[in-house]
Structure 1
């Protein structure tokens, strides 16, 4: 119990015995506890060094110091050492931040820098996760995250939340169909993260401390890399985009509510995509669902509209202001 104070289990046992039986000398303690006398003597030397006992001049008798004084003093010393260590950690963290800032200033332009390839993006996200102090906002596109990605992100997210960083993430509605991503989102919610879902997202995006944003070089192929942006005006615009999507998204754990026409957000978004000229295939990619799911939704919508063809369904959806 008192390892932190420098006491082994045997030291603690002997100290407790001395408090209970102050009349016992070294030989009496050894007999009382059933341990060799030399072990008691060695333990008393350690306890004396820790100022928990006072040895008599002849060395055969010792008196235990009251725990309110002895143990409390030891704890205070440990707390002081921890405080010094914490200051050293913070100073080291500040030094790392200063070196990182100097490095960034030497290797990037004011507006941002290019991160080539997925590995560069992942490395930069790790750096930003360690540096985050107040907030992390993100869009996560696609129906599922890879197990490797979630496993790598989990400890970083947990550490950030424990430091008091507020994490908000918007997933696509289709994540509810992937057990692994769904379990990860639930785990994040239990830790204090906030998640919402929406049918479509404009792109992947991460914003840290309202100062640094990462967006894909090609929204259609995030593996090409990302652009790191620091321009206050650009970052402010991306934050506004996030907040707009966040307000209209469905809080995680709640079922997406149907609107006054009985349409779910995913159904309404599908109709919007098709009316804008998307094919079933491209609409499926935007919604991060299978082609069969899109066709199944359209069959259901066509039946509810009482239509016999896609064209007639489109006309009736417009008449009813579904699109």
Structure 2
């Protein structure tokens, strides 16, 4: 892999954090034996061997037969090129999504809301117009914000864009509830974590019939075309139609699961992760934390990178938000509020 090229997250494709760390070590430093990996990563030889076996099974690493460890005759391992590895992992992980069937269900739902004279709605012409109108309505929202989401992952950029508005709603005491579908192939932040950042109550369903937003049970906003959000959104304020959509949401809510409690394991931190996060929260740099713990600065960076990938975030700021929102770690003592 060329120097400076992005290293894919193997955790997002179902491999363990140890395997991800081992792959990153191989990419950064070239072929390594399991013993060298164990020393680099400050893990046991057994864990290093398990990581290598996992990489080999996934096609992410292969042995160098001509470069054995002279003492134990153990082979060195080289990483697969990301350009070849990621497409293969995607093929293994990705499921078949029936977009046509989803679009038909969405349109049937809209048809049920339309009386003989057609759907009574204001057509918001495009995505930008929709966003402006949502901001206007949300500014006077009083008590409840319902969302049905069809996205299986959210990019960090999408999460960051939604944070200010959602935080304003939470600060005003508006209850946020969302129903969504199980996360997809890992290219982004899972819905259960992105919603956790702002404290939205979230439930997961095997599938949902439409993308939808309902504000204070008086205005509903479904997209015109679920496969093309640039086609705009319907703004519906007819009480009967809005009531039907609220009933749909409540049905999904009553049958959904809470993945943060039962469907998806909570974020479990290892003792090392807890100590490192505690030191960094108390003001240590990577260098001073490494000296305090008697480990390398590289191990600090590897540990945090593996944790970010496991949680599904791309930087330390997002990691702090997610861990704080899910209460995986307590807030640092002595840190200023706000």
Q: TM-score w.r.t. structure 1 length?
A: 0.42
Q: TM-score w.r.t. structure 2 length?
A: 0.40
- More RCO (CA 8 Å, sep 6+): 2
